[in-house]
Amino acid sequence: MDFQARRDRLRKTLKKAGVDALLVTDFTNVTYLTGFTGDDSYLLVRRDGETVLSDPRYTTQLGEECPGVDLNIRPPGVAMLQAVVRVVRAAKIGRLGIEGDSMTVGLLNQIAEKLPKVELVPTSDMVEGLRLIKDKDEVERLRRAVWQAEKAFAVLRSTLRPEKTEKEVADELEYQFRLFGAKDASFPSIVAVGPRAALPHATPGQNRIGEDDFVLIDWGANDGLYCSDLTRMLVTGKISPKFERIYKTVLEAQTRAIAAVRPGVLAHDVDNVARSYIAKAGFGKRFRHGLGHGLGLLVHESPRLAVKNQTILKPGMVVTVEPGIYLPGWGGVRIEDDVLVTRTGHEVLTSVPKRLEDTVVG
């Protein structure tokens, strides 16, 4: 990945923001700009260069992951605040941008006290704005994360047994991620049987798969940097008329929403496509979350496909499309795919079958 190009793009925004440098304190943003996968490290991006501020635990790792980047390794006993003060003073920075969405008020006040002659300028989304648009390398990492998730799910489905608990299924799924090369799960996997599927973020428990006719599984793989996110329904018993009606409603809403994904479209308009269809089917009050979210280094990031979100979709954005209907006491149905916005429309990165007949296990 061309991390230098990312830092150069950020540098171009410094002048517009009216700052001499940006102190990047969000660890995910540090990773995006350098490739460093550790934590407890900051990045000072100046108009003429950059410096990673870290500690001796990461000296070798930084050398391997961030070749060519200037390092300031603070010795034991020297706090990060002291390192920041030294580096900022040495760079003779007059106006320092800080990440207002991640820096604590406490740290801001400490820096202001130590650097009274430096004007601290809160900024928002300077790095996150760059992260919105994925480059080719990022898209390939996302494809890999999708592949790992789908391969793991295929194994899980082939070995699914009614006596297994939700937690056992979730644990097995995450084990399979790693067998296919993933570093970890993108998030704690959701496995929810029957009525528990009415909880959009249900925690897997001791309910057994065979206790009801269907189960909701929401999962994703982290390939080491980038995250995938999918949801499918599996029918382990009979397809009831109620399940069929709700499933087909959600599937059609998702199909229509995915078809609406293209450059120039507002995020809330895509959300409205699915939301209005579900409402016309009589389940409007049962769709209780946004249609989707961005994917990248985090499993939940911008842009959001949600009511009132004015983000204009652009090529390179990757979003989930995941409408759902949730009925307390009965259960819920959600279907989710990962979608890349292309120059001419969109590409669905995920490929797990989702026709009604594809849900049946056995």
Domain ranges of the chain: 3-131, 136-359
User: Would you report the helix, strand and coil content of the chain in percent, each value rounded to 5?
Assistant: 40, 25, 35
Query: Each residue of 158-204: pLDDT tens digit?
Result: 999 999 999 999 999 999 999 999 999 999 999 999 999 999 999 99
Partners of 292 in the beta sheet? 305
The residue behind tokens 């995941």 is: 322
The pLDDT value recorded for residue 230 is 98
Contacts for 163 with CB less than 8 Å, ≥ 6 apart = 208, 209, 210
Q: How far apart are CA 105 and CA 118, in angstroms?
A: 17
| 82 to 116, 226, 282, 319: CA distances (angstroms) | 14, 33, 60, 40
Q: Per CATH, is 136-359 categorized as 2.40.280.10?
A: no
Helices and strands in the chain: count of H runs, count of E runs:
10, 18
Q: Which long-range contacts (CB under 8 A, 24 or more apart) does 35-43 make?
A: 35/1, 35/3, 35/65, 35/66, 36/61, 36/62, 36/65, 36/66, 37/61, 37/65, 37/224, 37/225, 38/62, 40/80, 42/80, 42/84
Residue 62, token pair as written in the block: 């930084």
Query: Each residue of 72-84: pLDDT tens digit?
Result: 999 999 999 999 9
The pLDDT value recorded for residue 115 is 97
Position 1 confidence tier, pLDDT thresholds 50, 70, 90: confident
| 260 to 209, 239, 270, 322, 345: CA distances (angstroms) | 35, 29, 6, 14, 8
Position 362 confidence tier, pLDDT thresholds 50, 70, 90: confident
Q: How far apart are CA 185 and CA 149, in angstroms?
A: 9
Beta strands in the chain (DSSP E): 21-24, 42-46, 49-54, 70-73, 95-99, 119-123, 184-185, 190-193, 214-219, 221-222, 230-235, 292-294, 301-305, 318-321, 324-327, 331-334, 337-341, 346-348
Contact 338, 294 (CB under 8 A): no
The pLDDT value recorded for residue 200 is 95
Residue 295: which of 271, 328, 316, 319 has the closest Cα?
319
pTM for the model:
0.95
Contact 319, 290 (CB under 8 A): no
Residue 7, token pair as written in the block: 């830092």
The pLDDT value recorded for residue 278 is 98
Query: Each residue of 209-240: pLDDT tens digit?
Result: 999 999 999 999 999 999 999 999 999 999 99
Opening angle at CA 292, ends 193 and 189, nearest 5: 35
Task: Report the length, in residues, of the chain.
Answer: 362
Query: Each residue of 265-307: pLDDT tens digit?
Result: 999 999 999 999 999 999 999 999 999 999 999 999 999 999 9
Name the residue type at position 246. I
Work out the average pLDDT over 229-254: 97
**What's the CATH code, domain 3-131?**
3.40.350.10
Contact 228, 211 (CB under 8 A): no
Contact 323, 287 (CB under 8 A): yes
The pLDDT value recorded for residue 99 is 97
Contact 325, 286 (CB under 8 A): yes
